[in-house]
Amino acid sequence: MPGFELFGPEERKEVNDVLETGIYMRYGFDGPRKGIWKSKELEAAICETFGVKYAQLTSSGTSALSTALAILGIGFGDEVIMPTFTFVASFEAVLSVGAIPVLVDVDETLTLDPASVRRAITPRTKCVMPVHMCGSMADLDALQAICKEHQLILLEDACQSIGAQYKGKALGTIGHAGTFSFDFVKTITCAEGGAVLTNSEDLYIKADGYTDHGHDHAGVDRGADLHPFIGYNYRISELHAAVGLAQIRKLDKFLAIQKKNHQQLKAILSTVPEITFRQIPDPAGDSCTFLSWFLPTEAITRSLVAELKEQGILPGNFYWFDNNWHYYRKWTHLHQGASLNRLNDEQQAALKRLSPEAFPVSDRVIGRCISTAISLAWTEEQLKEKGEKIVAAVKKVLSREKAAV
């Protein structure tokens, strides 16, 4: 799954280019950097690779989301519809711009349920933010139709699905804006980094300034720049961009390995009739970073998790229902509004309405789900062994369940 599994001389070469200049900042120092502009190269490579007009690198996927929300004009009192299953960065970014995260149910795509989105719309709704979790995609046709009908912004959080497509278009390039994360465990990594993608020149200009203290980058040097609006320091460094530049050139290789390993593991697990698989709106577009599968009940799934743990084969198999970072049920800091800076009154009121039991529909989905990370480094033997051990554990648990009835 993560690009760090296949680090090599390509990454070292790009980083060494920067080290030899001694210029690690992406802006300025034109002479000493000797024509080395890794951030600019990576932004151009993102545009070419994913078929988008503009890309602005940031320091992380979280800062990319915060930037995207800001340039889209989302702020105090605006409601942003987002899924119950995501990474905490999604709601952190919404809160950071003064907006209100409105959580809604997911379905067996593990992404936003369009019907739940429609029910959550109020006069204060400004944006729908699908999160393309675990390598696959939301039902973008349905969500686009809802946004068009209600004149809402569609912001794609594609941080977990780099390289995935929906009907021939790269995820992150379909909405008004999209975001990537290049942290250490993403499909391609900069170690730390992110990007805002858009086809709007106006949004790109805003992102370019917002991520660098509001600099307009129109002067002959940084001291000559004007500041048409307030911005923040969300810049990526040249060292991080250099790693990403080597990684993006390997993306096709990563995706090919993932898809092969995903297909083979799915074939092994498919021999168990009680195992079903995640619904994927466009199967051909799945980036295959995870194989997500379901068992019939939460109780059986919990028994399997315990069995996998006992056998020492749980690592790499994620039970999101009890995960502290990715599912709303365990976001106690969000439920309690436990923020070091004071949240605005609108945000505090919205968070008070949350509780760990607020979304039984999502619970019935996530409570039965296990996602198996697809490694780029597996040998054929390792993949076969992993699949067979999972199958044996599932059959053991199911047999125990039948005997207890």
For residue range 112-147, what is the model confidence (pLDDT) as tens digits?
Answer: 999 999 999 999 999 999 999 999 999 999 999 999
**At residue 405, does pLDDT exceed 80?**
no
Per cent of the chain over pLDDT 70 is 100
- Beta strands 177-181; 153-157: pairing state: parallel
**pLDDT recorded at residue 105:** 98
Residue 282's domain comprises: 254-404
Residue 260 and residue 170 share a domain = no
* CB 42, CB 244: distance < 8 Å: yes
- Give mean pLDDT, residues 316-323: 97
- For residue 156 the two structure tokens come to 């794609």
Rounded to an integer, the average pLDDT of 334-362 is: 94
Shared domain for 192 and 304, answered yes or no, is no
Chain mean pLDDT for the chain: 97
66 and 203 fall within a common domain? yes
Q: Which of 223, 251, 279 is the last residue of a domain?
A: 251
Tokens of 339: 């923020």
Domain ends where: 192, 227, 251? Answer: 251
| Tokens 């690198």 -> residue | 57
Same domain, 199 and 311: no
- Same-domain pairing of 192 and 270: no
Interatomic CA distance for residues 61 and 131, integer angstroms: 12
| Residue 405 to residue 395: CA distance in whole angstroms | 16
Check whether residue 258 and residue 273 sit in a common domain. yes
Alpha helix positions (H), 27-176: 38-50, 61-71, 89-96, 114-120, 140-150
- 343/217 same-domain check: no
Domain CATH code at residue 87: 3.40.640.10
pLDDT surpasses 90 at 220? no
* Cβ within 8 Å of residue 349, ≥6 positions away: none
Q: Same domain, yes or no, for 193 and 265?
A: no
| CATH number of the structural domain spanning residue 350 | 3.90.1150.10
Question: Same structural domain for residues 199 and 235?
Answer: yes
More confident position, 137 or 357:
137
Residue 221: is its pLDDT beyond 90? no
Same-domain status, 295 and 398: yes
Whether the predicted pLDDT of 295 surpasses 80: yes
The Cα–Cα gap between 97 and 100 comes to 9
Please determine, for residue 274, whether its predicted confidence score (pLDDT) is greater than 80.
Answer: yes
Residues 113 and 84 in one domain: yes
The predicted model gives 25-41 an average pLDDT of: 96
Instruction: Tell me which residues are annotated as active site.
Output: 186
Q: At which of 193, 227, 251 does a domain end?
A: 251
Instruction: Please count the structural domains in the chain.
Output: 2
Residues 264, 121, single domain; the answer is no
